Amino acid sequence: MPTLHETIIPSKRVRRITVLISGSGSNLQALLDSASTPSLPNCAISYVISSRSNAYGLTRAKTHIPSIPTKVCALKTFQNRNPGSTREDYDCEVARLILESKPDLVVLAGWMHILSDKFLRILNGEIEPPSEPALPPPALGSASTSTPSESQNQSQPQKNQSQGTELPDLKDLKISAENSEQESPKPKSEAPAQAQAKPSDNVEAAADSTQDSKPDTSPAPKKLPEPPMHQSFPIPIINLHPALPGQFDGANAIGRAYEAFGKGEITHTGVMVHRVVAEVDRGEPLVVRQVEIREGDKLEDLESRIHEVEHQIIVEGAKSILAELDKEGRP
């Protein structure tokens, strides 16, 4: 039983979570399914950023009710549009996009890029984010001599899939949510967290909607939470890593653990959710689970067992951070 001093007062507003993905988004789906339930109360996934335009997680966000705004920020595309730019410049652009969404928490759910120290300093509020990078002028002899306006991009979504959908301002978000209440809701998610995902090239954030000829008697979908007036810093960042603390940092952790088991070097592996710091996968562990490796396991068997645990602890990790924000009285 907490003392009076330790009593957690829930936030008066719904907390906003921005999720960074690079692939199928099964862990994103776990967060979507748990948001605003007892497993992950008083919050919503309000923005999804992907490093790949064909990530199926974008479809999961698009088909969610309400539809989640998305953005594709691919490293190669960014560098092509900004000649001479560096990896750090790319990270700064990702940080700028995150700040536009005014999140309370950032979750890396299969984000396949290592984030730079400058990125972390921006989200800690230590330095200002960059202004939006200007696109380079078109090549000589090109059909167009000017960059399409934002309104043109929105009216022709299929011609600019690499950029995803811009995060709407508060006014547009309210209008979009009000319109969505008049539409016939789709199923909450296109696929459960553990379902096999089929990649899709469609990266637009707003789901195609059709008017049902019959009156809709189902409950109206919830609106996305409104952003706060001001961004609070530091913005906590957590990451899901399929290994125990101090083991198999970096890429291909599951495959390396499987090989180590075959050599008799380990008897089990694990999964953790940790805070993101400059050192890769070395931040403070928030949730840790051991995962057994069985004799006769194929690599796919171990991967499946680990993914099941991932879907659980990514929700637990997010919940623990949001509880901390409430405890410290973060507005």
Considering the domain boundaries, does residue 67 fall inside one? yes
User: Residue 148 domain-assigned?
Assistant: no
85 within a domain of the structure (yes/no): yes
Helix axes 56-63 and 26-34, enclosed angle (nearest 10): 20
Q: Does a structural domain hold residue 22?
A: yes
Mean pLDDT in runs of 10 for the chain (331 residues)? Answer: 50 90 98 98 98 98 96 97 96 96 97 96 92 55 37 38 42 41 42 41 33 37 71 95 96 97 97 96 97 98 98 99 95 88
**Cα–Cα distances in angstroms (integers) from residue 146 to residues 76, 120, 136, 149, 219, in the given order:** 22, 34, 10, 9, 46
Q: Looking at the domain assignment, is residue 244 inside a domain?
A: yes
Please report the pLDDT score of residue 228 as a whole number.
76
Residue 162 half-sphere exposure toward CB, CA atoms < 13 A: 8
Number of domains in the chain: 1
Tell me, yes or no, whether 168 lies in a domain: yes
Residue 242: its pLDDT value, please? 98
Helix (H) or strand (E) holding 255: helix 253-262
- For residue 61, what is the domain's CATH number? 3.40.50.170
Domain membership of residue 281 as a residue range: 15-131+157-185+199-205+232-327
